């Protein structure tokens, strides 16, 4: 009998890649989606258009992380073997504008799922999408699983609370619950309001003569950027072991936004300094420090390591946007 997985945030970047991974491994995949007046699920279109997967192995359920009663019903209905909690308000900048909503969905939403797991489905394995943002302005670099939390945004504060809650339920109730402390991971499916996708789209449009300028915020911010499909494989590996734990998933390299811009423009043979304008409105009220992840534990215990390096990631994102314009 195939395993059943429940994914929150299934329509997002990570959710779509994880769905493809699990379907490829023979899972029956159930996804939680919010009911809205418009339907935007283009990341899952290829799967829904495949008659071999849509009717049999992939099922979407309407629900909301803010509705604990609905989540309880969903747990009883699906009875999953594995739960991948990827859903939430994922944009850091927006969390400064909507801090209460960000905390309610990211922190309280995680608690609702943990309560469902404790009360109705004790045997299921639980993955929580934590974030490198919990380290904020770390005192040491690179960061690992023992680095102290110093969040500097409402998003990071909510993620830190959810992280601690997941650990608490694991230790208090014996749940198989893992925190994946993932550093920035990008792909052509990244949301359009994230800086890497914004740069890739802008560079492609400029290369095709459809745009002249890209407006960006702080170019000096450095990130540890990896490739999303490889990171969702790490999520799956966390739930296949015999012991639940927390893991940093990262490349161990840091590059600035300026580095990303320069590499993207170089790929299309253009001088980036002729096409970038700094927009002070895009600066965050509070910025993180040097974020570099030490994934030694994941390499040792999960046999996981990144394969796509920075330059290759930039090129594949730009190429995807060029192809889309064609």
> Which of the residues are catalytic?
131, 133, 155
Pairing, β 214-216 against β 4-8: unpaired
Helices assigned H by DSSP within 127-256: 154-173, 195-207, 228-238
SS (H, E, C) 80-120: CCEEEECCCCCCHHHHHHCHHHHHHHHHHHHHHHHHHHHHH
Phi-psi region of 202 (alpha: psi -120 to 50; beta: other; left: phi over 0): alpha
Please answer whether residues 96 and 118 qualify as being in contact, where contact means their C-beta atoms are separated by less than 8 angstroms.
no
Strand partners, 278: 216
Of 114, 222, 223, 102, residue with least CA distance to 156: 102
Instruction: Give the H/E segment covering residue 8.
Output: strand 4-8
Helices assigned H by DSSP within 246-309: 257-267, 296-301
Please answer whether residues 308 and 264 qualify as being in contact, where contact means their C-beta atoms are separated by less than 8 angstroms.
no
The DSSP code sequence of 51-71 is TTTTTTTEEEEE--TT-HHHH
Half-sphere exposure of 317 (CA within 13 A, CB side): 35
Residue tagged 């402390």 (tokens): 181
Please answer whether residues 31 and 242 qualify as being in contact, where contact means their C-beta atoms are separated by less than 8 angstroms.
no
Maximum Cα–Cα distance for the chain, whole Å?
A: 59
């Amino acid at each position: 009998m195939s395993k059943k997985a429940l994914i929150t945030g299934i329509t997002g970047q990570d959710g779509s890649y994880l769905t493809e991974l699990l379907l490829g491994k023979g899972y029956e995949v159930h996804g939680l989606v919010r009911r809205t007046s418009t339907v935007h699920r283009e990341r899952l279109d290829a799967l829904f258009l495949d008659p071999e997967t849509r009717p049999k192995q992939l099922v979407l359920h309407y629900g909301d992380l803010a509705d604990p009663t609905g989540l309880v019903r969903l747990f009883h209905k699906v009875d999953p073997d594995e739960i991948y909690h990827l859903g939430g308000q994922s944009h850091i900048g927006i969390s400064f504008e909507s801090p209460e909503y960000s905390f309610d969905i990211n922190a309280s939403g995680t608690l609702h799922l943990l309560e469902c797991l404790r009360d109705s489905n004790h045997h299921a394995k639980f993955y929580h999408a934590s974030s490198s943002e919990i380290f904020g302005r770390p005192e040491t670099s690179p960061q690992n699983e023992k680095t102290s939390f110093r969040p500097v945004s409402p998003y990071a504060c909510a993620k830190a609370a959810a992280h601690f809650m997941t650990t608490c339920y694991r230790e208090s109730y014996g749940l198989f619950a893992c925190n994946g402390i993932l550093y920035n991971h990008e792909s052509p499916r990244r949301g359009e309001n994230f800086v890497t996708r914004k740069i890739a789209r802008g560079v492609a449009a400029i290369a095709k003569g459809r745009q002249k300028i890209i407006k960006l915020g702080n170019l000096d911010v450095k990130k540890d950027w990896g490739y999303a499909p490889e990171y969702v494989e790490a999520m799956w590996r966390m739930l296949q072991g015999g012991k639940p734990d927390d893991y940093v998933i990262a490349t161990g390299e840091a590059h600035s936004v300026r580095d990303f811009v320069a590499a993207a423009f170089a790929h299309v043979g253009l001088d980036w300094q002729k096409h970038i304008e700094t927009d002070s409105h895009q600066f965050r009220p509070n910025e993180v420090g040097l974020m570099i992840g030490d994934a030694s534990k994941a390499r040792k215990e999960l046999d996981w390591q990144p394969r796509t390096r920075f330059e290759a990631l930039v090129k594949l994102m730009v190429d995807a946007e060029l192809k889309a314009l064609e």
